């Protein structure tokens, strides 16, 4: 990546995420703006919903690794995309691979206890494979 592309991607990255404990496992949680989170919850609350989770890994061969995460909800026509800078969020992807879970929350939620939308990854091997690719990209 040339410097201008790197700077552009860094400016677009999603920085709000945390890890919280759930049944002795770390669960990665993406923090959304309040209205964005409320819109998702209004569309899916109380109904069975599935979420297709895609991880697209972008790397430059110089040790910069970004992951574009896309969530496609089966209800409400909702698609959410997040660009995460793996150099700053390796623990997030380690927890994703370990727990096979992803949480979405608002800034005012109590992570791990209330007002959190939990997603069980249907294909945990994808997160494990992505973590391996991310680690290789970071070591270059």
3-state per-residue secondary structure call for 78-138: CEEEEEEEHHHHHHHHHHHHHHCEEEEEEEEEECCCEEEEEEECCCHHHHHHHHHHHHHHH
Count other Cβ atoms within 10 Å, centred on residue 122. 11
Q: Tokens 């049944």 sit at which residue?
A: 23
Predicted pLDDT at 9: 93
Predicted pLDDT at 112: 59
Predicted pLDDT at 111: 62
82: left (phi over 0), alpha (psi -120 to 50) or beta: beta
Predicted pLDDT at 11: 95
Split into its structural domains, the chain has a count of 1
Predicted pLDDT at 3: 80
pLDDT, tens digit, 9 for 90 and up, residues 105-137: 998 877 656 788 999 998 889 999 999 999 999
Predicted pLDDT at 113: 63
pLDDT, tens digit, 9 for 90 and up, residues 3-56: 888 899 999 999 999 999 988 999 999 999 999 999 999 998 888 999 999 999
Q: In terms of residue numbers, what domain contains 62?
A: 3-138
Predicted pLDDT at 140: 56
């Amino acid at each position: 990546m040339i410097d201008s592309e790197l700077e552009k991607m860094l400016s677009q990255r999603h920085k709000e995420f945390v890890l919280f404990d759930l049944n002795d496992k770390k669960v990665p949680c993406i923090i959304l703006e309040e209205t964005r989170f409320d819109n998702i919850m209004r569309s899916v609350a109380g109904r069975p919903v599935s979420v297709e989770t895609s991880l697209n890994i972008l790397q430059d061969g110089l040790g910069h690794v970004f992951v574009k995460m896309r969530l496609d909800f089966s209800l409400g026509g909702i698609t959410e995309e997040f660009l995460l800078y793996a150099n700053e969020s390796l623990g997030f992807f380690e927890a994703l691979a370990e727990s096979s879970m992803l949480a979405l929350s608002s800034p005012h939620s109590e992570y791990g206890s209330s007002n959190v939308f939990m997603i069980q990854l249907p294909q945990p091997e994808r997160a494990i494979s992505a973590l391996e690719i991310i680690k290789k990209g970071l070591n270059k």
